[in-house]
């Protein structure tokens, strides 16, 4: 083989190899960037949901604390219940983003949080209705049930945090 032709063939093979390596590296970098962006969107969705839950839970605690009082301030309870309802809507809105961002396992845990929250809200609503009616016969029972439902809710929120951490690749 002619040395000029061998050099030309060697240069062509070298160029093709370099081009192939550049394509492979470019695709790997694009996948890495896409993965990073996906994790960031999930992280933002999960953080927004947890923040909305936190704000709503503070409002719920305010209502429940007032209802546990021997002489509940009914206008204050009504005002704080309104704030709780507004914040609960924000939680539902944030949960929709969690469902969209996924994965399904995290959305499933968020659904458990929603269910636990709903169960506690029903008890809170019943306690408020009884307070307005001046009925204190079930106060101890309702207070105990509310405490149990709060434990279930906070466990569900803890489970959500763990699932969210796993979904964004944080295990520390």
* DSSP state string for 42-99: HHHHHHHHHHHHHHHHHHHHHHHHHHHSSS--HHHHHHHHHHHHHHHHHHHHHHHHHH
Across residues 5-9, what is the average pLDDT?
70
| Average of per-residue pLDDT values in the chain | 87
Give me the number of domains the chain comprises: 1
pLDDT of residue 118: 93
H helix runs in 102-171, sequence order:
104-133, 139-167
The C-alpha atoms of residue 133 and residue 90 are separated, in whole angstroms, by: 30
Q: Shortest CA distance to 102 belongs to which of 149, 39, 53?
A: 39
pLDDT of residue 97: 94
CB-based contact 66:72 (threshold 8 Å): yes
Look up the CATH number of the domain holding residue 60: 1.20.1440
pLDDT tier for residue 64 given thresholds of 50, 70 and 90: very high
Across residues 96-105, what is the average pLDDT?
92
pLDDT of 101 above 60: yes
Lowest-pLDDT range, 19-28, 99-108, 142-151? 19-28
Flag whether 8 is in a domain: no
The C-alpha atoms of residue 46 and residue 14 are separated, in whole angstroms, by: 48
Flag whether 32 is in a domain: no
Flag whether 128 is in a domain: yes
Determine the structural domain holding residue 130 and report its residue range. Answer: 41-167
Flag whether 24 is in a domain: no
Which DSSP letter does residue 33 get? H
Flag whether 7 is in a domain: no
The C-alpha atoms of residue 92 and residue 8 are separated, in whole angstroms, by: 66
């Amino acid at each position: 083989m002619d040395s000029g032709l061998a050099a030309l063939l060697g240069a062509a093979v070298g160029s093709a190899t370099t081009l192939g390596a550049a394509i492979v590296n470019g695709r790997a970098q694009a996948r890495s960037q896409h993965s990073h962006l996906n994790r960031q969107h999930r992280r933002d969705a999960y953080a927004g949901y947890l923040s909305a839950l936190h704000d709503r839970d503070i409002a719920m605690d305010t209502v429940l604390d007032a209802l546990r009082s021997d002489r509940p301030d009914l206008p204050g309870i009504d005002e704080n219940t309104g704030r709780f309802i507004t914040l609960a809507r924000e939680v539902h809105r944030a949960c929709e983003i969690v469902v969209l961002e996924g994965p399904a396992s995290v959305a499933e845990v968020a659904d458990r949080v929603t269910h636990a929250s709903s169960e506690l809200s029903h008890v809170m609503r019943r306690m408020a209705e009884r307070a307005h009616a001046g009925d204190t016969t079930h106060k101890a029972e309702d207070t105990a049930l509310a405490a149990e439902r709060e434990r279930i809710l906070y466990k569900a929120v803890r489970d959500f945090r763990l699932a969210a951490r796993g979904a964004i690749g944080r295990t520390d």
